[in-house]
């Protein structure tokens, strides 16, 4: 069911964005943990035909995925909490990345052919996902937020906004944040 929604994404793009946010937040334990979930989601979204089309790496190379995750998080911070010039610099970086990591192709059989990106690996997921967030026409750039609780920083992407975007993971993190704030203010008053 289409909903009244100021953002614009296709069903497949919504699924890709969901996988990207999962990737940004997950505690990476193994390569298969990441590959299996991402491959399944990209098949469901129609970006690849079978899970075997998804690029995999050797289990002992899991740190490569952690580095990818670091890169993704750094990019998302530039969108969620942009400083002067961040967005423009990010556009250059992402364009360069897209050229190298996200092929486009016409796929499928007679009568079912579709043109679009081939999302066949982790880098393709977040390169394409971040590019979608940078597309002003889609209105997604302001729907990305991070939990404000100390030591959290979990990312949220709200595709069906009702009012203000989410600011905390949970009531618990909301309380942690306000407690930390009160402590900070007390300390400030003591130092006067
Ligand atoms: Zn949190």
152-185 tens-digit pLDDT: 999 999 887 676 777 888 889 999 999 999 999 9
CATH of domain 11-190: 1.10.3300
Ligand 1 centroid distance, CA of 146 (Å): 8
- What ranges do the domains of the chain cover? 11-190
Q: Which residue has the tokens 């940004």?
A: 24
Q: At residue 100, does pLDDT exceed 80?
A: yes
State the DSSP H helix or E strand holding residue 19, giving kind and residue range, or none if neither.
Answer: helix 11-25
Separation of 33 CA from ligand 1 center, angstroms?
22
Cα 169 to ligand 1 centre (Å): 4
Query: Could you write out the three-class secondary structure of 79-115?
Result: HHCCCCCHHHHHHHHHHHHHHHHCCEEEECCCCCCEE
Which conformational region is residue 56 in: left (phi greater than 0), alpha (psi within -120 to 50 degrees), or beta?
beta
pLDDT at 79 > cutoff 80: yes
Cα of 93 to ligand 1 centre, how many Å? 28
Instruction: List pLDDT tens digits, range 101-128.
Output: 999 999 888 888 889 999 999 999 999 9
Would the pLDDT of 54 be above 50?
yes
For the CA atoms of the chain, what is the radius of gyration? 19
């Amino acid at each position: 069911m289409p909903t009244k929604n100021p953002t614009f994404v296709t069903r497949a793009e919504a699924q890709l964005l969901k996988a990207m946010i999962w990737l940004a937040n997950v505690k990476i334990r193994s390569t298969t943990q990441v590959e299996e979930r991402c491959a399944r989601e990209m098949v469901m979204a129609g970006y690849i035909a079978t899970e075997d089309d998804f690029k995999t790496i050797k289990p002992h190379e899991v740190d490569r995925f952690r580095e990818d995750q670091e890169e993704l998080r750094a990019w998302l911070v530039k969108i969620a909490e942009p400083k002067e010039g961040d967005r423009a610099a990010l556009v250059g970086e992402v364009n360069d990345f897209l050229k190298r990591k996200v092929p486009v192709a016409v796929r499928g059989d007679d009568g079912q052919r579709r043109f679009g990106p081939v999302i066949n690996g982790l880098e393709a997921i977040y390169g394409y996902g971040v590019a979608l967030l940078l597309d002003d026409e889609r209105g997604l750039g302001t729907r990305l937020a991070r939990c404000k609780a100390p030591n959290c920083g979990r990312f949220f992407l709200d595709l069906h906004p009702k009012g203000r975007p989410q600011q905390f993971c949970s009531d618990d993190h909301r309380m942690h944040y306000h407690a930390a704030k009160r402590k900070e203010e007390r300390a400030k008053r003591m130092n006067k």
